[in-house]
Chains A and B, each alone.
Chain A
Amino acid sequence: EAGVAQSPRYKIIEKRQSVAFWCNPISGHATLYWYQQILGQGPKLLIQFQNNGVVDDSQLPKDRFSAERLKGVDSTLKIQPAKLEDSAVYLCASSRSTLGGHLYEQYFGPGTRLTVT
């Protein structure tokens, strides 16, 4: 079974530029998560999708971050404009449907390491 795919693996941009990350979850996984992990910290959930609907985006900085999962499969996360403090690893994860509660393990992609200069 193919794992969670993410691209690019690395990205370096200047502040105020825009950047987009792509994630393709495991086939059949209805739930998709985007996390931000700053060096030395644990991951922070940015947004959770159930199919193409948003379940939780309470920690997404909506003034600059956006995410979509239009067809309920792959997803993109965009930052516009980027700030220095956005430098982090952006992780995508997927799991089987979480309807009724989070009772399924998550499978993580390799992450995209973003450096904002």
Chain B
Amino acid sequence: KNEVEQSPQNLTAQEGEFITINCSYSVGISALHWLQQHPGGGIVSLFMLSSGKKKHGRLIATINIQEKHSSLHITASHPRDSAVYICAVVRGPSAGNQFYFGTGTSLTVIP
């Protein structure tokens, strides 16, 4: 069983739709990252969260520490949002600061 589970694995949306990608984890963490990976391999860090909610442009990330769950929302989706979105969690110093990555959600936004 993976320490980090993402859903859905694949997602196709029409341009303009509101999109939600979910991440659940089973270990105690010090932080959670949302990453965006475009075809060709380039990875961009979107958010780093340890509590609450963050917003950047059309992207919103939330985390519920008690429920061990985070969501990434994209409002007014656009074809350029098509990418793989990866959730990664970081355990605290007492657990060696280990990283665990989800396998990603592949998003395709159709014009």
Contact = CB atoms under 8 A, between A and B. Distances in A.
A110 B45 CA distance: 13
A101 B30 contact: yes
Given A41-B103, A56-B97, A108 B42 contact: yes
A108 B44 contact: yes
A113 to B, nearest CB: 7
B63 interface: no
B41 interface: yes
Interface residues of A, number: 27
Interface stretch (B12-20, B64-72, B86-94): B86-94
B92 to A, nearest CB: 7
Q: Say what secondary structure dominates the interface of chain A.
A: loop
Contacts of B101: 42-44
A44 B93 CA distance: 18
Contact of A45 (B43, B44, B45, B99): B99
Interface string B41-63: 11111011010000000000000
Nearest to A102: B90
B111 interface: no
